[in-house]
């Protein structure tokens, strides 16, 4: 009996080792789980469900195979793949969830989020995030020719990398006040999120009661999985295969 949580894999064609590690995880470690939650940034970028990238089909097939073994799979959008839609989710056997989302985890109410909502000190990013949530803008972007969308995504990734290089680490982390507010508003004492790439389990006090915030890690150097069982939450690492072996698989 276990429920699994992952996030921030950032899959891309340039990192076949990460793809191989995720596929192995889905084919072996996740089999028999009560559920699997993917809390955003599964892909490095997403420009539409109609993108014919072979990587997308490989991952959809792996997720679908797991779901067909009676493992429910749930997905919360990240800041890199917020355009992932129902069409791809259906191909992958995943159910899309809102952000934040409240679940019952072995008798405890838990709030799930990708985590970028909690980085309130990064005002520039929060403004960008509000713009990307505009339905009419998403509708317009998804109707651009595929090469145009690819060019825009490439430019935006470059700008984001340059901007982040000049931001302090504290600005790009969550703010305690935002964490407390989200927990209070949903009457929860536990939160699970990703986004910051700082895997840890934080225990603290909220309104005189014990609370816990669990941060999922990325998959750049090793896999990161949260395994939850009744009364237990444990962060584990998964080794990435060697690059030459991954390219052969």
Name all contacts of 124-128 with Cβ < 8 Å and 24+ positions apart: 124/163, 125/79
Annotated binding residue 10 = yes
Query: What pLDDT was estimated at residue 244?
Result: 43
Identify the DSSP state of 108. E
- What percent of the chain lies above the pLDDT cut of 90? 83
Question: Which tokens sit at 42?
Answer: 């599964």
Annotated binding residue 195 = yes
- What percent of the chain lies above the pLDDT cut of 70? 92
Inform me whether the pLDDT recorded for 249 exceeds 60.
no
Inform me whether the pLDDT recorded for 155 exceeds 70.
yes
Inform me whether the pLDDT recorded for 147 exceeds 60.
yes
Annotated binding residue 114 = yes
How does residue 170 score in pLDDT terms, banded at 50, 70 and 90?
low
**Rounded to an integer, what distance in angstroms lies between the CA atom of residue 68 and that of residue 1?**
18
Annotated binding residue 203 = no
Query: What pLDDT was estimated at residue 157?
Result: 76
For residues 149-162, give the mean pLDDT. Answer: 81
Question: Which tokens sit at 248?
Answer: 């052969």
Annotated binding residue 186 = no
Question: Which tokens sit at 146?
Answer: 């595929």
How does residue 247 score in pLDDT terms, banded at 50, 70 and 90?
very low
Higher per-residue confidence, 155 vs 218: 218
97 phi and psi, to 5 degrees?
A: -120, 160
Q: What are the distances in angstroms from CA 133 to CA 50, 83, 159, 222? A: 20, 10, 19, 31
Tell me what the pLDDT averaged over the chain comes to: 92
pLDDT tens profile 209-224: 999 999 999 999 999 9
Annotated binding residue 122 = yes
For residues 126-150, give the mean pLDDT. Answer: 93
Find tokens 């995030």 and name the residue.
Answer: 129
């Amino acid at each position: 009996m276990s429920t699994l949580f992952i996030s921030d894999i950032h899959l891309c064609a340039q990192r076949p080792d990460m793809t191989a590690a995720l596929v192995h995880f889905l084919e072996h470690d996740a089999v028999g789980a009560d559920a699997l939650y993917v809390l955003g940034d599964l892909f490095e970028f997403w420009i539409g469900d109609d993108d014919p990238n072979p990587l997308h089909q490989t991952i959809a097939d792996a997720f679908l195979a797991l779901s067909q073994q009676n493992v429910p799979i749930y997905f919360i959008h990240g800041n890199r793949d917020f355009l992932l839609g129902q069409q791809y989710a259906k191909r992958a056997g995943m159910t899309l969830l809102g952000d934040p989302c409240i679940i019952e985890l072995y008798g405890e109410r838990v709030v799930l989020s990708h985590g970028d909502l909690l980085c309130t000190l990064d005002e520039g990013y929060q403004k960008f995030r509000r713009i990307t949530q505009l339905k009419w803008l998403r509708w317009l972007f998804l109707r651009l020719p595929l090469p145009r969308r690819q060019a825009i995504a490439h430019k935006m990734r470059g700008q984001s990398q340059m901007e982040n290089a000049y931001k302090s680490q504290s600005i790009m982390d969550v703010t305690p006040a935002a964490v407390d507010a989200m927990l209070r508003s949903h009457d929860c004492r536990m939160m699970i999120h990703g986004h910051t790439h700082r895997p840890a389990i934080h225990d603290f006090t909220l309104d005189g009661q014990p609370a816990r915030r669990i941060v999922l890690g990325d998959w750049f150097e090793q896999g990161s999985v949260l395994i939850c069982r009744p009364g237990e939450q444990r962060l584990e690492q998964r080794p990435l295969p060697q690059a030459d072996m991954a390219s052969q698989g």
